[in-house]
Amino acid sequence: MSRKYFGTDGIRGTVGQAPITPDFVLRLAHAVGRVLKQTQERPTVLIGKDTRISGYMLESALESGFNSAGVDVVLLGPLPTPGVAYLTRALRASLGVVISASHNAFADNGIKFFSAQGTKLPDAWELAVEAVVDEPPVWVESAALGKARRLDDAAGRYIEFCKSTFANDLTLRGMKLVVDAAHGAAYQIAPKVFHELGAEVIAIGCAPDGLNINHDVGATHPEALIRSVKANHAHYGIALDGDADRLQLVDAKGRLYNGDEVLYLMVNERLARGEKVPGAVGTLMTNMAVELAFRGRGVEFVRAKVGDRYVLEALEQRGWLLGGEGSGHLLALDKHTTGDGLISALQVLQACARSGRSMAELLEGVKLFPQTLLNVRLPPGQDWSRNRWLAAETDAVEAELGGSGRVLIRASGTEPLLRIMVECADELRSRSLAQRLADAARADKPAR
């Protein structure tokens, strides 16, 4: 059964257009409440949000929907997505709800859910909700209506949790950090976490007005962070996205590190402390240089489909702890149940503080391979997988690369595009080979 409303990460869209309207969100919360009450007599749900102006409206709709189904609500206010996941588990709540569209502009918003264990919920749960959401509501009697209250110290509790993941015998004293919270959910929290661990903090992207979330700041726009790091002669810059589950890092020279490199640093820090790391999980897009570096350290590496939920699934199947995406979604399951930009940053800074070495020094010998990415627009209805010329050209390119590079061809999930990626140590060669594949896909005949 296909899902009607839920996507890969909850329900998301433009505010005022279905399904991100107050009437639908009220019905959604009512349906979720009914599903919860199938197994719990008096469920309690936590609701957190980012800083979008539409969060007020959607928060009220969620509160009413849950209360009408006999579910109690605890309002957390602006709080990072991983903070909601943590408090759901810590407070023994039945469910955590986040109002956020992550790295999108302010005009979008979304709703996503966490289980009582602080993990993302399975497809079966989402299908159970969708089966109920379009049914007529079943209002509980007045005496059974849910109540709502606000948790005033939600941010403080989450700050202490983040700090607890940093080694007790280390400090950030002597480090000057620029912290960019994307005018999002971590705007108050992120600077305090690093400051309370001893760092000198310069905050940017920490003045939300409801309309400026992710606007020219944050993990998706690291240019502002790079400029500030250089201007302030900082040691590092840390950029989060609107809901603070994504991370980008910059060093004193303005060099930007992606999630693949951060994942390697997290693994390497464990190995340096004598811990066993049996394996790590990346995605189909993880840079091959990182895979080879893991292999050199005796760490098995597995690729999952693109998307942090698939990385998590692969980790859980194998009982491993560390995984992530180049976009900056990183998982350390011995620290948290979900991706957390703040905790990931602390793991990297911990490695630097413990070793006395910079990120660049810790990544010596790990030089990312150039990746050429080309998008080929397909005619409506064309099945690229049946293009025998593209198949032949792909075989030829892979044979030329041997074990020194990779080819990845996949269809876009949202547009009629074929995404072609060629990766190898020589940038000019990767461009040339990717263009050959793109020409074959467009012409539906051999490129040579």
Which residues are designated catalytic? 102
Phi, psi of 339 (to 5 degrees): -65, 140
Phi, psi of 399 (to 5 degrees): -65, -40
Residue 385 CA to residue 296 CA, distance in Å, equals 35
Question: Who contacts 202 (Cβ-Cβ below 8 Å, separation ≥6)?
Answer: 176, 177, 178, 179, 228, 232, 234
Residue 66 CA to residue 323 CA, distance in Å, equals 34
Residue 94 CA to residue 91 CA, distance in Å, equals 9
CB 48 within 8 A of CB 83: yes
CB 320 within 8 A of CB 311: no
Residue 179 CA to residue 188 CA, distance in Å, equals 11
The distance from CA 116 to its chain's CA centroid, rounded to whole angstroms, is 20
**What angle (nearest 5°) sits at the alpha carbon of residue 365, between those of residues 361 and 368?**
105
CB 220 within 8 A of CB 241: yes
R_g of the chain, CA atoms, integer Å: 23
The distance from CA 158 to its chain's CA centroid, rounded to whole angstroms, is 18
Report the b/e string of 170-208 with b at 16+ CB within 10 A: bebeebbbbbbbbbbbbbbbbbbbbeebebbbbbbbbeb
Residue 309 CA to residue 335 CA, distance in Å, equals 17
Question: Who contacts 43 (Cβ-Cβ below 8 Å, separation ≥6)?
Answer: 33, 36, 37, 71, 72, 94, 95
The two structure tokens encoding residue 324: 């992530």
User: Are β-strands 322-324 and 200-204 bridged in parallel, bridged antiparallel, or unpaired?
Assistant: unpaired
What is the residue whose two structure tokens read 């980008």? Answer: 248
Question: Who contacts 48 (Cβ-Cβ below 8 Å, separation ≥6)?
Answer: 76, 77, 78, 79, 80, 81, 83, 84, 87, 96, 97, 98, 99, 154, 185
What is the residue whose two structure tokens read 């990779």? Answer: 406
Residue 436 CA to residue 285 CA, distance in Å, equals 20
